[in-house]
Amino acid sequence: MDDVDRSSLPQTVKQVLTVLDQAGVAYQLRIFDTPARRARDAARLLGCPIGAVVKSLVFQVSGEDQFVLALVAGENRVDLEALREVLGLRVQPAQPDAVLALTGFAVGSVPPVGIEGEIPVVMDQDLMRYDQVWASAGSAHVLVQLTPQALQTLSQAEAVRFKKSG
């Protein structure tokens, strides 16, 4: 990790960094004055391909209090039907208030790791094309870089295809 004064970081970011540190994962942290709530914003700030930015999207199982976290390459959109087939569950995007209540993180700052509780995770296999990927570190102002392999291991995600074609 870069030399960053952790005392000045939000608690949500500290929560994510604790998970990374405990796992012994190599990572780089970048802090920005401008928020990166969208993949294109993050890619612009970082100067990286949009596909190397991880979107952490929360989906709710229809009619239940069960949720799924989808880690999606920034350039891709989720095909709900393909995601339903992968999961064997009917899902829909979770409402912002439900995302905050479930994860403790607001939409646009949901990290791929560090969420309390058990939540199934699926990962867009297109993220595996990159040597390094960037994801929220628990704040729209803080991004973390790690390998997609480390991301997959830490999140206990299955890398699958569920993106919209064309």
Read off the pTM.
Answer: 0.94
Q: Which residues, including other chains, have CB under 8 Å from residue 7's CB and lie 6 or more apart?
A: none
**Percent of the chain at pLDDT above 70?**
97
pLDDT tens-digit readout, 93-150:
999 999 999 899 999 999 999 998 888 999 999 999 999 999 999 999 999 999 999 9
135-162 confidence digits (pLDDT tens):
999 999 999 999 999 999 999 998 999 9
Q: What is the rounded distance in angstroms from the CA atom of residue 97 to the CA atom of residue 92?
A: 14
Q: Would the pLDDT of 2 be above 90? A: no
Nearest in space to 123 (alpha carbons), one of 154, 97, 91:
154
Residue 1 lies in a domain: no
Q: Which domain holds residue 145?
A: 6-160
Instruction: Say if 65 falls within a structural domain.
Output: yes
**CATH number for the domain including 41?**
3.90.960.10
- pLDDT surpasses 70 at 24: yes
CB atoms within 10 A of CB 150: 18
| Residue 45 counted as domain residue | yes
The verdict on residue 165 lying in a domain is no
**In the predicted model, is pLDDT for residue 38 greater than 70?**
yes
pLDDT at 117: 85
In a domain, 99, yes or no: yes
Whether 18 is covered by a domain: the verdict is yes
pLDDT higher for 77 or 8?
77
Task: Domain count for the chain, please give it.
Answer: 1
Q: Residue 57 falls within a domain, yes or no?
A: yes
Whether residue 166 lies inside any domain: the answer is no
